[in-house]
């Protein structure tokens, strides 16, 4: 044995003996003498940390899972369910995964900071259109992100660093995470009027007034389609008025597209507002998510596209997006984006996906009609036509917090306290139960 090896072995034996003695002495010392110190946490450097409240949306599922009732119904979290109430993996996704798994040339190396180039190119084409002048003129930079939330966060941090106006206007109400994402990105968050509780529709006049009084250059968050949580979207004519106002005031539109194809069943129709803005030559941001329209919730697949004035600007913007992403999560995961790229490039898989996507959208539309008809049949007080006028995964029922609590306590139906329900969580079998609960709530709780 070499002398260096002998010295190394001796050092190892010394450390092992020292560790053994240390363990022995500690077992007879402070831990034995003060058993409470390890259990009550008062000596922890984190003892001052308070228990955080449950997320208002995800907390609904936590409460639902604790309920032993056989008739319980979860209408809180926005995830598609089949008529049998089960999660679904699309056939197109299964086939794409099968191709990927059986491709022995695939490796698990790190992706570039911006992700898979083909995924980015196809994502921009999907949202902006194959004939988009911005794409043809190379004025778009797209980076793969961690679903819609990650895309919003990357976009928000980029704007906080490089855009002259650090105020973003978001609709009231909006998805609960928007406020946190943009505030933690370094932006000041303000709201503009959007929903009218009296009509359970769009407060279009209030929207125009608030955006009209916003400072020049302010950022405006827009839901591309299937507004969350209300399900209320502007008409195409109203979108045109919004576009003209935003461009005349030099406001910067930031679209959140979480439901392309999932709202109407048409990928093109649901992207029309974004494409109209992109066609006028102005700049904008778009956050995309494939959670809903491909059912890739847990794969965390999304993209951020920024439409710029010139190719040169787009290249410099991408260089700075890399500096945002690198210290945040270094680079994105490979599997989910590979599924998306496989489907978008393969005509047969793409066609199968669009058929499945429309089937999901149609089922949700059918649930709206069935719930409306069930309330009509029960003579439930009030006008419930907003259920079939709203679009997408969610319906803003108009129920108040007390009525929601009543429905949870008496009927074991779980939803967010603002009365938002996920239509995708309903089925033909559960619609009567929900209709009974709503009828009881509005007739017994005021």
Give 144's strand partners. Answer: 303
Strands 201-202 and 219-223, how do they pair?
Answer: unpaired
| Residue 403 near residue 380 (C-beta atoms within 8 A) | no
Q: Annotated catalytic residue: which of 175, 239, 353, 384?
A: 175
| Residue 341 near residue 119 (C-beta atoms within 8 A) | yes
State phi, psi for 202 to the nearest 5 degrees: -80, 130
322 given a catalytic annotation: no
Q: Which two tokens stand for residue 313?
A: 């600007």
Q: Which two tokens stand for residue 383?
A: 């006008």
Element (H, E) at 257: strand 252-257
Indicate if the alpha-carbon torsion angle 70, 76, 82, 83 is positive or negative.
Answer: positive
Spell out a b/e string for 202-226, using b for 16 or more CB atoms within 10 Å of the CB, else e: bbbeebbebbeebeeebbbbbbbbb
Q: Which two tokens stand for residue 385?
A: 């036509």
Could you identify the residue written with the tokens 């089949």?
A: 82
Q: Which two tokens stand for residue 113?
A: 């900071």
Q: Annotated catalytic residue: which of 233, 256, 270, 436?
A: 256
Q: Give the C-alpha separation, 76 to 63, whole Å.
A: 10
Angle between helices 176-185 and 147-162 (to 10 degrees): 40
Could you identify the residue written with the tokens 């250059």?
A: 217
172 three-state secondary structure = strand
* N-to-C CA span, the chain: 87
CA distances from 136 to 130, 139, 335, 378 (A): 9, 8, 28, 55
175 given a catalytic annotation: yes
Q: Annotated catalytic residue: which of 95, 210, 270, 292?
A: 292
Q: Give the C-alpha separation, 87 to 77, whole Å.
A: 12
19 given a catalytic annotation: no
Active site residues: 175, 256, 292
């Amino acid at each position: 044995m070499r002398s260096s090896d002998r010295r190394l072995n001796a050092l190892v034996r010394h450390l092992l003996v020292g560790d053994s003695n240390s363990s022995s002495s500690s077992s007879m010392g402070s831990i034995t003498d003060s058993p409470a110190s390890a259990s009550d946490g008062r000596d922890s450097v984190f003892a001052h940390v308070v228990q955080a409240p449950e997320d208002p949306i995800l907390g609904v599922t936590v409460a639902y899972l604790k309920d032993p009732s056989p008739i319980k119904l979860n209408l809180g979290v926005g995830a598609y369910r089949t008529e049998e109430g089960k999660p679904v993996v699309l056939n197109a996704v299964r086939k794409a995964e099968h191709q990927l798994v059986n491709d022995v040339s695939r490796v698990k190396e790190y992706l570039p900071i911006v992700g898979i180039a083909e995924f980015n190119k196809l994502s921009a084409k999907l949202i902006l259109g194959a004939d988009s002048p911005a794409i043809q003129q190379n004025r778009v930079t797209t980076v793969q992100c961690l679903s819609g939330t990650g895309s919003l966060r990357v976009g928000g941090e980029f704007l906080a660093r490089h855009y002259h106006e650090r105020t973003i206007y978001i609709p009231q109400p909006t998805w609960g995470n928007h406020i946190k994402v943009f505030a933690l990105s370094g932006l000041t968050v303000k709201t503009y009027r959007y929903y009218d509780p009296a009509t359970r529709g769009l407060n279009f006049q209030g929207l125009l007034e608030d955006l009209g009084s916003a400072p020049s250059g302010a950022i405006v968050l827009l839901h591309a389609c299937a507004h969350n949580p209300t399900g209320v979207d502007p008409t195409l004519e109203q979108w045109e008025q919004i576009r003209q106002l935003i461009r005349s005031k030099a406001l910067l539109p930031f679209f959140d597209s979480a439901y392309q194809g999932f709202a109407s069943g048409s990928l093109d129709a649901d992207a029309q507002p974004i494409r109209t803005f992109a066609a006028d030559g102005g700049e904008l941001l778009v956050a995309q998510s494939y959670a809903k329209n491909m059912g890739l919730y847990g794969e965390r697949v999304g993209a951020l596209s920024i439409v710029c004035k010139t190719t040169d600007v787009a290249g410099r913007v991408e260089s700075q997006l890399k500096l945002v992403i690198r210290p945040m999560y270094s680079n994105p995961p490979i599997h989910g984006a590979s599924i998306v790229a496989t489907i978008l490039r393969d005509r047969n898989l793409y066609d199968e996906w669009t058929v499945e996507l429309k089937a999901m959208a149609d089922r949700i539309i059918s649930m709206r009609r069935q719930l409306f008809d069930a309330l009509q049949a029960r003579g439930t007080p009030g006008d419930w036509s907003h259920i079939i006028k709203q679009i997408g995964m969610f319906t803003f029922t108009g129920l108040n917090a007390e009525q929601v609590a009543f429905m949870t306590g008496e009927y074991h139906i779980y939803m967010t306290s603002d009365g938002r329900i996920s239509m995708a969580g309903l089925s033909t079998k559960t619609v009567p139960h929900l209709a009974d609960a709503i009828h009881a709530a509005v007739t017994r709780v005021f």
